[in-house]
Each structure stands twice: as structure tokens, then as C-alpha cells.
Structure 1
Amino acid sequence: MKWRIRVEQEPEYEKTRKETHNQNKVKKLFTRIRLPVQSFFNASWKGASYGATLITMLLIFAIGFDFHTGLGKLVDVVLFFLIAIIGTWVAVKIGEWLIKRVKKLPTLFIASLAISLTITIYTLDQFRSLENILPLAYLLVAIGVITGALFGYPLTLGLKKPLSIIMLLLGVFVTGIFCYWLFTPGTLDERLANTVEPFSPVSQNPSEYGSHEVNTFTYGSGTDKQRDEFGNEVDLQTRSVNASSMIGEWSKEREWFWGFKDANVPLNGRVFMPEGEGPFPLVLIVHGNHKMEDFSDQGYNYLGELLASRGFLTVSVDENFFNSSWSGGVSGDINGRAWLLLKHIEEIESLSTQQDTQFFNKVDMDHIALIGHSRGGQAAILATKFNELDRYPNNANMRFDFNYKIETVIALAPTDYQTLSDRKIEVDDVNYLLLGGSYDSDLSEFEGDRQYNGIELTGSENAMKSSLYIDGANHGQFNTAWGENDTYFPFTLLLNKQPLLEGDEQRQISSTYVSGFLEATLHEDESYQPMFEDYRYALEWLPKATYISQYEDPSYHIFSDFEEDVNVLTATSPYIEITANSFIQWYEGELEFRRDKERGTHGVFLKWDQSYSKNASYSLDLTKPLQDPYNFTPNSGLTFTAANVSEAEDQQPVDFKVTVSSANGESSSVMLSDIMPMHGALPIQHTKTKFFEERRYGEPTEPVLQTFNIPMQLFKKENSFVKLDEIDSITFEFNASPKGKIFLDQIGVNQPN
């Protein structure tokens, strides 16, 4: 028997009714959501429009506070006030008129948003590249829209509704938070404390004033229309020179401001003369790029007075007319800056032979030093290169005839982008000192390190080179006129200035190192040399900070600099073979800056993790005893440079063991921490916003090389049976720190005299 099951079909009208009911429920829900949203938008769109416009006006007006037309501060402020108010509002109204033709939405809101965003992006793009400023532009306009909407709602509907009170309070709160964030100096980095014990100084504090009274005066054209000290009140009138072959176009606005063309550039200088019988070594200080209307040369008075009191005839050179301005910059300015330094030396040499001048018999032309800051730092090394050339490489029709005895170059946070005939600038056998800071928010990278690598010490002269990396130092505080702001207002409000050293502290460091280096190189006082080989000899004179230093002189003989080839099993010396074990990473490559720029030095990268594999080691095996000057003696030392390239969160100091073995089978080991600590990674945040930080400044840490010297006597003390003249292997053993990554370079021997 078959059973039939009857399935009842739902009537079609019932199905349609349910669908209609569900649709109506969705429509009602949408309407219930839409009406308050629409009500809120209708009440707040005007405020949001005005907020976006106002934030743009404030940005333009703020820039006017740090803008110089040469017409006076009041004129500058009034001019930018008018541009901010009238210009922005006219642009918004024009945008509103255009959008009305195509949109029926609240046109004022759309116009305000579009024009404010466009003007903000364009304005910020004048200071930084587009990819760096887009997030900041979006943030500023968004803040203007949000705060404007929060205030616009209660202003439109009144304060009777509870929601209006809430919106007003939220507006006040958001505005307060934004202003607090904007005007506070920033936040301190989370750093592990690294304690470094100072060594007892072996010389007198070079930052203390010497025995000479100081006589200050100026020399210049006598026609300077901007400053009386180089104009009608100048103490000693000097000639002008034709710089047109050294630089690019000289604008009409620049000519109007200064009153001269590039064909008659003045030689202006601020002189700090030691009183007493000369002659005195000559020291020239030159500033870098800054707003030309905000004069930079007086910012080194603290150095001029100190150095003159210690017997150095010091001149702060005026090159403000090469600096940037609202009217644009000068192309090729570094070439002009360098050449002009040499023309100052030429002028001073001439004046020193004239009995009626203050320079007569006061200048020791056999001992000359150049000090440069920022672009001036590159100009100083470039001037040293020009000094040894017969013709200008970029225009061989121009002859050079300088050949002065420039013995010393000191670079304070120098740039290093200039080339000659598309070649890196390299100089041999000059004393060189480099100072730079981790919080240089202008350069953002330790560019001077590449300049340091370009100084070759051949041994023909008794020269040395040294660098000091200062955690917490910025770009500007080496100059009292530049100060803590490494960029222009209002971008300075975004800088994280909380971790900075105080200005006086940073200048205490520069005073100590600049003066000490000149004492060692121009006054030939050898007691100051140890502080440049090991910064711990100077720590008692310096503020508390983290320091990393490099050093080299002709007694350093490197047998592995990793520049020879791509074979990781060979060294620079053909008598060395390399072996390595148990590393996560082992490769040779170039050490890069924070933003992947070339640094000009290669080495080996070694990464280990004891949870992965224990007893990582890197060995240099000598197949033949090294000959003089590469051989080891009881008075020599093992030298190498190394940088901690661990991740930013790995702030623990890295430690490892160095072992030497001799042909008789004996070995001896020394822990690196017993010689000098290798600091942990130093995370750096230049700005208050991390998304802007990454786009503008790159990686959160920057690898910086430290020179290590291990006296061979320590190995001998550890094991007296080790034969230093028969060393056949050098091994770096990484079992003291559980993990880490380092960059190793410049392995060799130090043979002190």
C-alpha cells in the first residue's frame, strides 16, 4: 500500500506580505538611524567647515612667525595674517562656487574640506616630500573638521538640548588634548641605564678658559645693509670677491635684500683675537644652512671666546648670504661656502703682513684649522680638498692657488651629500674630528660617519681622526642662534624635544672636544690625545649621556676591513682564512643609515640566539705569521670596530669573548665588557607621531660604530704561555649574551710608538 504525503504550499500573498513587513522594518530602522545622523550633520556641518578652514588659516599664520621677508617682523606677521584670512577664505569661496555646479550637498563643507586639504598639503610639501607629509595633512584637517563639528552643533541648535552640552564638552576636551599634545615637549625614550665609569683625566679640562684676554672685532666690506658690524661700524674694511663661478643663480630678491650680487660677495668675519705676543694658530668657524635673515655666525661666540683665551686666533665667518630664504636657495652653495673659506684665509694672510691692521704678526699660517657646522661641516672638508687642487673640478677653466697648511678639520653634525665630478670627497692625512647627535632631527642620520670614512691616514703625516656620537644631542644646539628647533615652525611643534640635552650641556661637549682637539693638533699637546681614542678620559668634563666613539691614527694597521670581495671566507690579508659556526645570520654587507642610505663601509653581520644554537663563534685563522707592522707585540693591541645592530626592543648591552691562540697550542681570552661596554640598541623617536616618524626618519635605531682596543698584555696576563709573536687565530665567541646581532669591521693591530 502506498502512502502519499501532502505538503501544503504557503499562499503566495502570505509570502509577499511577510517580505513587505520585513522591508518595512528595515526601512523604519534605517529611518530611525538616519534622522538623528542627518539632524547631527545639519547642525554641525557649518562648524566642521569653519573648523577645516580655521586650521588652515592658523597653519599659514603660524608659518609667518618664522618667515622673514626682510621688511621687518611686524610686516611679516601682518602679511601672513592677511594671506591666512583673506587668501584661504577667497579660495574656499571659489571652491564653493565651483562645487555648487555639480553637487547638491552642503557645498561650504565640501569646499572647506577640499580646499583646506589642498592648501595644507601644498604648504607642508614646501618643507618635506609629499610622501612624508600626507599623514600629517590628513591629521590636521581631520582635527579641524572634528572640533569644528563638535562646536558647530551646539552653536547651531543652542545649549538647551543635553546633546549640545555633551558636544560642547567633547569639543573643549578634544581641543584641550590636541593643544596639550602640540605644545608639550614630547616623551622620554624608554632606555635601559648603561653605566660607564670614567677614567682619570690625563690632561687639564680643555673647556676651561685659558690665560689670554680676548679682543673682539669685525672685518668686512663696510657696505653691509643688514648689519652695522659689517657695515658702517666695521672695524677693518676688506675686499669683496667674485663667487659667480662657484655657485648657481643669484636671485633678484637676494640681491635686493643684501645689496650685492654674486660677483661682489663680501669677506665678513667676527674675530676673537688673543691678546699677547703672537703668532697664534688660525681657526675659522663657518655655519651651515639656516634662514638667511636669521643670522648664524654669532652663534659660535662661545667657541670663539674659549679658543681665543687658549691662544687660538679664531674667526666666525659670515656666509649668511648663501643660506636659504623665502625667495629660494643658491644651487652649489657648498662649493661657494668652501671656496669662500679659502678666500678668507687668503685675506687674513694679506692683512697679517700689513702693520696698520690688528692681524699684523699675529697669525701662524703654518697651523690652520677649519670648523664647520651642518653644511659648513661639509664645506670645511671640501675647502681642504680645494686647497690641494690647481683647478676647480666642476669648471677647469677656474684656477686655484691656495696651498695653505690646513692641519685640522672639525665637523659638527655635517651634511655629506656633495660630490666633486660625481665622486665622493676624500682627503688624506688631515686631523679630523666629528661630533654628531642621535636626536639630529634635521639630518636624521649620522651622515658625518661617511665623511669620517673618507679621511685616509696614509702614515706620511702624524694625523688622527676621531668621532663622537652623542645620545640626546640635536642638530641646532651647537649654535646658540639655532637652538633646539631642528626644523621650521610650526613643524617644530611635532618634534619630540623631551629627550634632548640642554643647550648648555650640548655646547659643553662641543667646547670640550673642539678645544681639546685643537690643543692636541695645533698646539701639539699630546696629553689630550687619549680622550679622542677613548671618550672615558673626558667623561668627568661631560654631561651624563651615552657616548659612542671611533678613533684611528697611523699606528692602526688593519688586516681585515671587508672591502676586498664578496667571499665571506677571506679577509683583506691573503694570509687569513675565516670560519664561523652556529649563527642564525652570517653575511658581509654595507652598514646602512636609518633610511637605507649608503654609508660607505662594509663589514660582517653576525646574529646569534642561544635558544637556537649555542657557542656561536667567528674566527680569523692566520695561515702565515703576520709581518711588521701587522704583527703582535707586548706593547701592541688588538683593535676592531663594532656596532650593535639588534632590534630596537633588544636594549641589553651585548657582551662577547675575544680569544687569541698561538702556534704552541696555548690560548687566552678577554671579555669585551672588561675593556669597554658595547651599548644596547638606542631607540630614537624624533617626533610625537609614530606614523610621521617612520615616513620621515626611517628605522627606530641607527647603528653606530665603536672602536675597541684590547692591549695584548691582557692576553699575556691571562695566560703567560701564549706567544704573542706566534698568534695563529683570533676568535670572537658569543656565549656571554643569550642573543644579539652585531656588525664587525676594521680588525687589526694598534702599534703605539
Structure 2
Amino acid sequence: MILRFFNKYKIYFIFIAVVYSLYSFIVYLSNYSNIYFLNIPKRLENKPSTVTTLSNNTQNKYQIDILDNTTIGVPSSDDNPVVFILHNGMDLTYLVEELASNGYLTLSIDTTNTDITDHLRLLKQYVETEDIYLTNKADFSQVSIMGIGASGLQAYEQALYPMDNSLANLVSVLLVAPDLTQLQDNTVPSVPVGIVLSQYDGNVRTLDGQNIFDTLAFSNNLQANASCLYLFNANHNFYDASNLEDDALNVPNAESPRLEASAQQDFLRQYSADFFNNYHHNITSTNIGLDSSQIAPNTIYDYNVLTSLITPNSLAILSPTESNSQYFTSLGGSIDMHNASITYVTESYMAPYDNAAGFQHPGLPMELGLLKFSWTVDSGLFSTSVPPIYEDFSKYNSLSLWLSLDPINKLNSGNTPQSLMITLKDNNGYVEHLILDESSIALHLPDGYLVSNNYQSQWSTFTPLSNLRIPLDTFTKVDLTQIDEITFKFNQTPSGSILVGDFRLLY
């Protein structure tokens, strides 16, 4: 009876079996294959974040006063976090007003002939004194410091050697266009440090602050986040409301247009508030590049930027610290290359040690290791296996590439941005593709041109390494607890060349 039923309807059973087999085959290919029209790659989209700063939402009442030749902004509330702004004779009242309106007791201190600890002790006396307007206005368990220009050194030294806890507890340090030529210390700070660099800084032309980030990025003893922001078309003086001299004129090959003074101050006003809000209140409503789970922004408050971030407990996958980095990853996996090349090069301000021709990283490093990836056909590939001990990516927030285009390499077509694909494969064989394209500013060639002299050839402006950050929650198909293989496929452009300074998992 069953046989007669099957024979009667066998054509239907065969049809169902064929459809099911075909469906299963397509599902298999969509999960396990490199056939892209079936296993469709995603794209990493870098959309501008909505600008919603704390100051937009909760303006606090405050008063501005002069106390012992120091401009001070006093919120109407009690027990406020404290921010010291260190500088050398600048007018930074606009910063004092912004931070005070955000609920910070803010002091703008000319450090030409003074030390921050003296001001801190004096402030504590005033705060603990009855019947004056500073009574109970400060919470000394939450103190941050901003240092601008030459005062950046004193601010950074506070990060390296924080003041006694009986005086204050340091939360974070922000350095703006810092002059660190006298810094001789490689001590690792115990608090988060942020650095803002101006592309056309005519006073600190080497952009010294980059050296701090580069040192911390490869430290095995990193204790707190470090970030670096490169502000396009900015100079040094325009952060000072009393100095309208365009020091960018001191920078060879400086291009126009440049940011107006009002624009630079607008940027720093908003950024400083958001920076301190992030570390004091964990407010991250604006992506300013400090959250490792978010894409590195191309713009902040509509100003073009490059950003870099390093976090403690991150895991280096590929750090070119020595020549064998072109054969083995930092995890111990071998590197396989097909139809593409990988070369270890070094960036140095000293011509005999510089074989990263044309590339010009801020800070003028003595010897910065880089891996140059080059391809001449659209089938280039870099692949490496992940040792089982490191297969669990789920405890990290993102994959971070620290890179720049090779500026003078003719494999990069004019001003056309580069594009490539990253593929993750897990132990079950699931495969997921993600295209990294021109939506990330790190894959754009900086404006400029080649400049040569008797010693070496360089790009006309800095070509900083910066983060191309991939949030791991972008990958929804593979099992992030058991990643088996990482592949870069140079299949989006016919040729190209990129310089990679680091590839890691950020915590």
C-alpha cells in the first residue's frame, strides 16, 4: 500500500527532494564558499555620527572669575570634577566657559613660571574654606588635565607621575599640539591619554605628540587607553583666541584652504568636553574615536580627522617590529601570500634607515617598522591561520588595522581610494566576507605631492598611520569564539600598495 502511494506520487517526492537538495546546496555555498554572489560580502559603512554632546543637552549655569591671575569657571552645582588647562600665555576662556557649562570646575593656568601642584593646593584651600563662592565646588577624586603647546610636557609628566592621592586623583590627560622635545621618559602612564595634532603646526612642526602614541601602541605594559587625533588643515596658534598669526606659513608646502581660527576653537571646544565626558561620565553619544567597539570616524563635528586608538589587553595579530614579521604573525601563525607581496620596511627621519620612500609619519620616528602589501592583479591574497589558543575573538570589541596608503607608489591609481576585503573563517567552516572601501578615510591618499631633496623623497605633508577599525559585531555568520583563519583579499582594485603598522584585536 505504501509502495503504491509512493509510485502514485513519486514525481512529487522527487520534485521535493530536488528542491530541498538545491536549497541545501545554496545554503551551504552561502555560508561556506568564496562564491561572492552566493556568500555576499558586507560593506563596512562609516556613517557620520549624530553630534549630541552633553553640552547640547544639559547646559549648566556657571560664572567666570579671575583668581590669583587664573581664569576660573565655576559651575553652580557642588562637588564638580576639576579640569586644569595648562598653557603658556594663551587666551582659552572659550574652553573654560565650555567645560564649566558641562559641570567642570575649570582653571586656565599660565605655567610659564608656575607649577600645577601649587595651584592645586591653593584651590583645595579655597574649596575647603567657608563662606566663599568656591566652597564645596570641587571633587578632587575626579581631576583631569589639558596641556597645550609647551605646557603639554608638564601635563604629560602628571600622567607619568600622578600627584599624591591626598591631593587629587587623576582621571585623564589631554594634550593639544604638545611640544615634547624635552621628553626623555618612556614610562607608561597609568591614566588615559589623548593627543590632538594639527596638520600644519608651524610651532611644533614635527608633531611630537605622535611619538607618545607610537611608544604606547607597542608597549607590553599599557595600563590605560591612548588615542591620537590628526586634525586636517589646522595650525598651532588658532587654538589661542588672542593669537591670529597663521603659523602654518612656517610649514613648507602647507596647502590651502586652512581652518579659520573660529573653526579650530569650535572643534577644540566640543572635543575637549566630549573627551572629558567620556572618561569622567562614560558618555559616548558622539563617536570621537575613543570607543573601540565603534568604527574610527572620518569626521568629528564635520571636521576631517584621522584617529588612532590603543587599549590595554589588546591582542597583536601582526606587528611589524622585526624583519621576520613578513613570514610569521605575532600569534605564531605562518603567512601565506598569493599574487601579492609583503615586505618589511622602516620609516625613519634619518635617510640611511628610511626605506619607506615617500611615506612621512608624524613625530619623525627613528625606526618605525612597517609591512608593505603590494598587488598588481585583482586576485592578491594574504592569509594566516589562528592558533587554537587565540581562536576566541568574542571577548574583544574590534579588529584594528593601523595603516596608510603608500603615497608615491604608482600601484595606487592617482587620488583613487583603495579597497580590499577581509574574510574570517571559523572552525566549523563558516566563512564571512567584509569589504573595506573608500568609506574609510584611512584608505584615502592624503592631498599632496612628492618633494625630493639631496637626501630623500617624501610626501609634501604628513601621511599618518591611522585606524581602520572593524567592530566585531559586524560579523554575524561566523562563530567568533573559534576563528580559524584570517584572509585579506586584494580583489577590489587592479593594483595597490598599503603600509601597515599594526593589526590587532582591541579590547
| TM-score > 0.5, shorter chain as reference | yes
Q: Deviations over 1:261-320 (max 9, x none)?
A: xxxxxxxx21111123x11111011125xxxxxxx332x111110110110011110134
Aligned twin of 2:501? 745
The whole-number CA distance in structure 2 between the counterparts of 1:379 and 1:282 is 17
Is structure 2 residue 490 aligned with structure 1 residue 734?
Answer: yes
Matches within 5 A, 1:298-697: 298=91, 300-321=92-113, 340-355=115-130, 357-387=132-162, 404-420=168-184, 423-424=185-186, 426-455=187-216, 463-486=224-247, 496=254, 498-528=256-286, 531-533=289-291, 534=294, 539=299, 542-543=301-302, 545-554=303-312, 556-563=314-321, 566-574=324-332, 576-583=333-340, 586-590=343-347, 593=360, 597-598=364-365, 601-610=368-377, 615-622=379-386, 624-627=387-390, 631-633=392-394, 636-647=397-408, 650-673=414-437, 676-684=440-448
1:216 to 44, 64, 77: 64
1:708 to 462, 468, 474: 468
Alignment check: 8 A CA contact 2:320 2:344 kept: no
Give the aligned residue type for 1:618.
F
The whole-number CA distance in structure 2 between the counterparts of 1:458 and 1:357 is 48
Give the aligned residue type for 2:337.
A
Q: 1:662 to 1:587 in 2, by over 3 A?
A: same
Q: Which range moves more in the overlay, 634-643 or 437-446?
A: 634-643
Alignment check: 8 A CA contact 1:216 1:270 kept: yes
Aligned twin of 1:281? 81
Aligned twin of 2:30? none
Alignment check: 8 A CA contact 2:295 2:470 kept: no
Give the aligned residue type for 1:710.
I
Q: 1:650 to 1:441 in 2, by over 3 A?
A: farther
The whole-number CA distance in structure 2 between the counterparts of 1:314 and 1:696 is 46
Aligned twin of 2:90? 297
Residues matched between the structures, number: 447
Q: 1:283 to 1:493 in 2, by over 3 A?
A: closer
How far residue 677 of structure 1 moved from its aligned partner, in angstroms, is 4.7
The whole-number CA distance in structure 1 between the counterparts of 2:395 and 2:141 is 37
Q: 1:377 to 1:581 in 2, by over 3 A?
A: farther
Q: 1:696 to 1:565 in 2, by over 3 A?
A: closer
Q: 1:200 to 1:704 in 2, by over 3 A?
A: same
The whole-number CA distance in structure 1 between the counterparts of 2:65 and 2:289 is 33
Q: 1:642 to 1:679 in 2, by over 3 A?
A: same
SS in 2 for 1:411: strand
Alignment check: 8 A CA contact 1:558 1:746 kept: yes
Give the aligned residue type for 1:616.
G
Q: 1:515 to 1:480 in 2, by over 3 A?
A: same
SS in 2 for 1:617: strand
Between structures 1 and 2, the one with greater helix share: 1
Give the aligned residue type for 1:678.
A
Q: Structure 2: where are the runs of 5+ without partners?
A: 1-44, 350-359
SS in 2 for 1:659: strand
How far residue 547 of structure 1 moved from its aligned partner, in angstroms, is 1.9
Give the aligned residue type for 1:410.
L
The whole-number CA distance in structure 2 between the counterparts of 1:455 and 1:731 is 27
The whole-number CA distance in structure 2 between the counterparts of 1:492 and 1:434 is 22
Alignment check: 8 A CA contact 1:214 1:274 kept: yes
How far residue 442 of structure 1 moved from its aligned partner, in angstroms, is 2.7
Q: Deviations over 1:325-349 (max 9, x none)?
A: xxxxxxxxxxxx7xx1233223222
The whole-number CA distance in structure 1 between the counterparts of 2:46 and 2:427 is 36
TM-score (normalizing by structure 1) = 0.53
Q: 1:698 to 1:444 in 2, by over 3 A?
A: farther
Matches within 5 A, 1:80-229: 198-201=47-50, 204-206=52-54, 208=56, 210-220=58-68
How far residue 494 of structure 1 moved from its aligned partner, in angstroms, is 8.5
Q: Deviations over 1:411-470 (max 9, x none)?
A: 1112232234xx43x333312222222222332344322212344798997x53332212
Q: Deviations over 1:215-244 (max 9, x none)?
A: 222232xxxxxxxxx3xxxxxxxxxxxxxx
Give the aligned residue type for 2:505.
V
Superposed CA RMSD? 3.7
The whole-number CA distance in structure 2 between the counterparts of 1:679 and 1:703 is 11
Q: 1:347 to 1:513 in 2, by over 3 A?
A: same
TM-score (normalizing by structure 2) = 0.76
SS in 1 for 2:247: coil
Aligned twin of 1:177? none
The whole-number CA distance in structure 2 between the counterparts of 1:310 and 1:554 is 28
Q: Which range moves more in the overlay, 732-741 or 500-509?
A: 732-741
How far residue 359 of structure 1 moved from its aligned partner, in angstroms, is 2.9
SS in 1 for 2:388: coil
Give the aligned residue type for 1:727.
I
SS in 2 for 1:311: coil
The whole-number CA distance in structure 1 between the counterparts of 2:57 and 2:457 is 39
The whole-number CA distance in structure 2 between the counterparts of 1:473 and 1:493 is 12
The whole-number CA distance in structure 1 between the counterparts of 2:348 and 2:434 is 26
Give the aligned residue type for 1:477.
F
Give the aligned residue type for 1:407.
V
How far residue 669 of structure 1 moved from its aligned partner, in angstroms, is 1.7
Alignment check: 8 A CA contact 1:433 1:466 kept: yes
Give the aligned residue type for 1:608.
W
Alignment check: 8 A CA contact 2:71 2:108 kept: yes
Q: 1:417 to 1:566 in 2, by over 3 A?
A: farther
Give the aligned residue type for 1:272.
G
Give the aligned residue type for 2:173.
V
How far residue 370 of structure 1 moved from its aligned partner, in angstroms, is 0.8
The whole-number CA distance in structure 2 between the counterparts of 1:591 and 1:667 is 39
How far residue 197 of structure 1 moved from its aligned partner, in angstroms, is 6.0
SS in 1 for 2:266: helix
Give the aligned residue type for 1:308.
A
The whole-number CA distance in structure 2 between the counterparts of 1:436 and 1:316 is 20
